[in-house]
Amino acid sequence: MTEQIDKALAREYEAGFVSDVESETFAPGLDESVIQRISKMKGEPEWMLEWRLGAFRDWLQMEEPDWALVDYPKIDFQAISYYSAPKSMKDKPKSLDEVDPELLRTYEKLGIPLIEQQMLAGVAVDAVFDSVSVVTTFREKLEEAGVIFCPISEAIQKYPDLVKKYLGSVVAKKDNYYSALNCAVFTDGSFVYIPKGTRCPMELSTYFRINEQNTGQFERTLIIADEGSHVSYLEGCTAPQRDENQLHAAVVELVAMDDAEIKYSTVQNWYPGDEDGKGGIYNFVTKRGVCHTNAKISWTQVETGSAVTWKYPSCVLKGDNSVGEFYSVALTRGRQQADTGTKMIHLGKNTKSTIIAKGISAGKSNGSYRGLVRMAAGAEGARNFTQCDSLLIGDQCGAHTFPYVESRNPSAIIEHEATTSKVSDEQMFLCQQRGLDPEKAVSMIVNGFCKEVFKELPMEFAVEAGKLLEISLEGSVG
């Protein structure tokens, strides 16, 4: 059975094509002059450049972390290009008609048509291609509701007060090695502001695409949900199939003011590398949200791509009665490695957090859950429930759980449950005896395992995620 499953897992990476777009790309290398050039390309104000340079100087003093259960050759930061943009984007197309058709075709091929009439009704998209945002759809409609949804490079110019106030307020510049690097060299990403008491009229989503060779993508996203507002946001990611590893180091900050709610979903499908572990994206991401009184942040992630993933979407439950949730499915196959989980930092009274993490490992891959639950002294009556389930497919893969718990308040309650199971021969046999082919059997068993997480995804994307798993598992049995 193991052999069958392995074969079935040897799937095609459907998003692995390269777009033939003429790009303007910086020569590889990183020093202050590169940062000055990025800042200039983006037409940034002086304060932004200073902010970046400060982060860069911090970064130079920092060490690359090595505590995660992932193994990869040392990254040569001087061999990476820190900026690449389609030439056609230089004149900032004002409307879709002015956007290079090849770019639009790229997104269409990925199943994200940017022509509004063809789009999923009710979803606004910001499409980020290498280092620039190509287009943001439905902007007018959102503006009517007072919602700001634009590339962060534009927000820096148009809404400097908001950006100055919140950028780096949740993830400090020096938080970690990759966040510091991101602060220095980030190129684009999305900015969202939902005004007081507003329910965002549509789903917002950002689609990240890496195209150019040897470039890093350093995206930066900032979402601010003002008092009593509500927003649901989704990000998707893909990259071409290349033999070299590429670095993706993002920072995402969420601010949920009093009574606000942010639902942040990720479907991550970066190129995972080939069967032998050649190529693939290094996905080193810092995601964190802060919840004020009665606010709620819910992270849902479906991670199927990347050669190496290092990612811990977290919640700082600052306000009383605030709620943090983390629902995760992480699938590793081939030689993929994922070290992912969450941090729930309970500061306020009666704060609540729920963690449901599902890890699926196949092939020779390694998946780890790493999670921290911290109950601060003031977290009177706080509660956490954690459930970590691992599913192994075959016998050459690994699943690991590293739960860390710190409690300084005796009234806080922390519950942790963990299970490890296998896709068993018996289950496969039952399915096949009923007429299902082995691929369908595995994907059904895996989907069943992930059910609690999938039901947290917005409808359209739950279907997508299910399909993605199906593709990821294609050939995993044969």
Decide if residue 466 touches other proteins (CB under 8 A): no
Q: How near is the Cβ of 435 to other proteins at its closest, in Å?
A: 4
User: Chain-centre distance of CA 148, in angstroms?
Assistant: 21
Q: How near is the Cβ of 264 to other proteins at its closest, in Å?
A: 24
Q: Which span sits near other proteins by CB under 8 A: 7-15, 309-317, 331-339, 445-453?
A: 445-453
Q: Tokens 């009923």 appear where?
A: 434
Q: How near is the Cβ of 251 to other proteins at its closest, in Å?
A: 34
The answer for residues whose C-beta is within 8 angstroms of residue 70's C-beta and 6 or more apart is: 308, 309, 310, 337, 338, 339, 366
Query: Which residues in the 150-209 window bind other proteins by CB under 8 A?
Result: none
Q: Which of 254, 445, 457, 462 binds other proteins (CB under 8 A)?
A: 445
Decide if residue 435 touches other proteins (CB under 8 A): yes
Instruction: Quote the tokens at residue 357.
Output: 């993490």
Decide if residue 417 touches other proteins (CB under 8 A): no
Q: Please give the Cα distance from 38 to 83 (Å, whole number).
A: 7
Nearer to other proteins, 293 or 387 (CB): 387
How many residues bind other proteins, per CB under 8 A?
Answer: 27
Q: Which span sits near other proteins by CB under 8 A: 86-94, 219-227, 419-427, 456-464?
A: 419-427
Cβ-contact 18, 243 below 8 angstroms: no
Nearer to other proteins, 5 or 295 (CB): 5
Q: Which span sits near other proteins by CB under 8 A: 171-179, 237-245, 298-306, 442-450?
A: 442-450
Crossing angle (nearest 10°) for helices 438-454 and 425-433? 110
Q: Which span sits near other proteins by CB under 8 A: 58-66, 96-104, 319-327, 428-436?
A: 428-436
Q: Which of 204, 267, 431, 468 binds other proteins (CB under 8 A)?
A: 431
CA-closest candidate to residue 385, choices 342, 349, 421: 342
Q: Which of 429, 459, 463, 467 binds other proteins (CB under 8 A)?
A: 429
Q: Please give the Cα distance from 186 to 66 (Å, whole number).
A: 23
Decide if residue 71 touches other proteins (CB under 8 A): no
Decide if residue 95 touches other proteins (CB under 8 A): no
Nearer to other proteins, 250 or 360 (CB): 360
Cβ-contact 65, 190 below 8 angstroms: no
Nearer to other proteins, 377 or 430 (CB): 430
Partnered with residue 193 across adjacent β-strands are 148, 224
Decide if residue 255 touches other proteins (CB under 8 A): no
Q: Which of 272, 438, 466, 475 binds other proteins (CB under 8 A)?
A: 438
Q: How near is the Cβ of 469 to other proteins at its closest, in Å?
A: 13
User: Chain-centre distance of CA 308, in angstroms?
Assistant: 13
Query: Which residues in the 446-465 window bind other proteins by CB under 8 A?
Result: 447-452
Decide if residue 434 touches other proteins (CB under 8 A): yes
Q: Which of 54, 120, 427, 471 binds other proteins (CB under 8 A)?
A: 427
Nearer to other proteins, 150 or 428 (CB): 428
Nearer to other proteins, 317 or 453 (CB): 453
Q: Which of 22, 66, 276, 426 binds other proteins (CB under 8 A)?
A: 426
Nearer to other proteins, 20 or 426 (CB): 426
Q: Which of 60, 430, 459, 463 binds other proteins (CB under 8 A)?
A: 430
Other Cβ atoms within 10 Å of 149 Cβ, number: 28
Q: Please give the Cα distance from 112 to 114 (Å, whole number).
A: 6
Nearer to other proteins, 85 or 428 (CB): 428
Q: How near is the Cβ of 421 to other proteins at its closest, in Å?
A: 8
Cβ-contact 294, 320 below 8 angstroms: yes
Decide if residue 387 touches other proteins (CB under 8 A): no
Decide if residue 440 touches other proteins (CB under 8 A): yes
Q: How near is the Cβ of 452 to other proteins at its closest, in Å?
A: 8
Q: Please give the Cα distance from 97 to 120 (Å, whole number).
A: 19
Task: Give the footprint of other proteins on this chain (CB under 8 A).
Answer: 1, 4, 421, 424-438, 440, 444-445, 447-452
